Amino acid sequence: MHELTEDGASLSEGKSPEAAQDEGGAAVPLPVSPSMPPHAAAAWDWFRSLGSPRYHVAPMVDQSELAFRMLCRRHGAQLAYTPMLHSRLFSEEPKYRKENFTTCGGDRPVLAQFCSNDPAHLVAAAGLLAGSVDGVDLNLGCPQRIAKRGRYGAFLMDDLPLIERIVAAAARELPVPVTVKIRMFPSSEDASLPDVERTVAYARRLQDAGAHLLAIHGRTRDQKNAKEIRADWGVIRAVKQALHIPVIGNGNVRHKQDADRMMRETGADGVMSAEALLEDPALFAPDRTDGRVASSAERCDLLVEYLELAGEYPTPMRMVKAHVHRLLGNWLQEHTDLRDVVNNFRELTLERLRDVAEEMKSRILASGRDHPIPKLSERQIARMQREAAMAAAIEEQTREEEAVSALECGTKRKLQEGNIA
């Protein structure tokens, strides 16, 4: 098992904890631990062969493409996932493969993520990439309606035997490791709360089926609004303590300080970010130790970097445009002339977008502000107010948790020194 040391680091061996703790510190009973799966040592050897990566770029449909992965790697990311790929289409349609998967020599380590509800489809699709990636990830976390219609992602949680068959087939037949990305099960009594025991049991079944790594998002499939619903790190901690393979945490990571705190508090072996990285691809930069995020002007510079990479690694314009909107955000609503250039898809080029980024930076610096003054509808204003209130509540809760954690560590240290009876 993997116990936690006092500072939250994981140990590769030790006794199984009898209980984990939730975010409030309450004891959460865990199921009796099964024996170590036979591939556990191989899973850790594989993880170490990748450099024991701590900072991961999450799989994002149409947005974790090669150019963006390379931008994030340039600024501290240590492992990246491809966008989600449809296993059946990937295995059957060469055009789909060509349009949706590209890589290069510097794009390592990289995991190819697939959605699938058929073991044969996943094995066939992943087999085509085995020499180009370091592992294959099964998407068990997508909560969107398209995943429900297609019966994949988080909606496979309704058929655990099928998931086990898919993972087992991939583990048995592919020459690279299989990994999984999951969400929590909700409590049957209160859907806003997690079912810790069921989630831990689910994670163990995936491990025992052959998964070499498990990433867990600390929300349920119905908790889709990351800005309004706080991820539960307590469940991530419980899963980490219960498994014998590397565990990656996901959720509530706004900046690198959050990422490092998650690893300390949960014992997770790494942290995955999606939304926050889209708005700040330098989130994992080594000098980001104080909770700082990129300023608006810096985001313009990051956009220029991205556009250069999109030229080096040809990228569909729909993906490029999506990154432009994420990095410039509401500044485009304030500067509608630049927004019109971005939205004129027929005449859009990387050169035009670079001009937009440089002009936007010039206007931002001239304004003396780091935040735009967008023209918003009443509905948008109300939504922003809700999100701001939630962000403030999360910030306050984070400060309280850090204070309690510091107090507990100080008390433990004094006890160990014999200063307190």
Q: How many CB atoms lie within 10 A of CB 386?
A: 13
Sole residue written with tokens 């962000």: 391
What three-state secondary structure class fits 216? strand
Phi first, then psi: give them for residue 160, nearest 5 degrees.
-65, -40
Distance in angstroms (rounded) separating the CA atoms of residues 170 and 211 = 9
Residue at 7: amino acid letter: D
Cβ(282)–Cβ(76) under 8 Å?
A: yes
State both tokens at 262: 């998650």
Phi first, then psi: give them for residue 183, nearest 5 degrees.
-120, 170
- Enumerate long-range contacts of 370-373, CB under 8 Å, 24 or more apart: 370/295, 370/296, 370/297, 371/296, 372/296, 372/329, 372/330, 372/331, 372/333, 372/334, 373/334
Distance in angstroms (rounded) separating the CA atoms of residues 311 and 298 = 20
Cβ(253)–Cβ(273) under 8 Å?
A: yes
Phi first, then psi: give them for residue 384, nearest 5 degrees.
-65, -35
Residue 355: in which H helix or E strand, if any? Answer: helix 350-367
Pairing of strands 19-21, 27-29: antiparallel
Distance in angstroms (rounded) separating the CA atoms of residues 61 and 323 = 12
What three-state secondary structure class fits 208? helix
Would residue 142 show up in a list of annotated catalytic residues for this protein? yes
The reply to whether omega before 109 is within 30° of 0 (cis) is: yes
Selected catalytic residue, list 115, 142, 300, 409: 142
Active site residues: 142
